[in-house]
Amino acid sequence: MHTKLIRTRAGAFAATFSTAGLAMLEFPGGRNARAVASRSRSGENAAWIRQTRAALDDGLAGRDPRELPPLDLAAGTDFQRRVWRELLKIPSGRTRSYGEVASRLGKPGAARAVGAACGANPVPVLVPCHRVLASNRTLGGFSGGVNWKQRLLAAEGVGVGGK
């Protein structure tokens, strides 16, 4: 695994890559983002870094990424990976509730488990867990903090209630 700072207009995200693809993305100011030097490391895949930067730029501008880097979601459970794949189907500017995602997975009543999977999402922004809201259309939680969730949704033209 190697970590690279991906500089965007919103700050430097720490992107951790495995041999399979992007395994973790951390918001600016996070522990890894503060600790990582942005110099090249052996084993880097320049194409994946470019794809990650472009996908972040799209996501931060409120657009669906034109292309995602390969995603390594192996750290999740089977259920978490199913949730994350379902989140990739939510288009920019649209939201779903935790319960709606659970129902789409054939697991009605698993809204809390969907929320936990969203909280464990290793690549926020690119796997758009910010598009999942509480059933009353309030923000709920977010791994990067509710300010980031609100900011990402606002860029997509989505207005929501408070926490």
Task: Tell me which residues are annotated as active site.
Answer: 129
Positive or negative torsion for Cα 76, 85, 32, 6: positive
Backbone angles phi, psi at 13, to 5 degrees: -90, 140
71: helix, coil or strand? strand
Angle (nearest 5°) at CA 156 between 13 and 110: 80
Q: What's the CA gap between 48 and 18, in Å, rounded?
A: 11
How far does CA 45 lie from the centroid of its chain? 20
Angle, alpha carbons 78-55-30 (nearest 5°): 75
The Cα 38–Cα 8 span in angstroms is 13
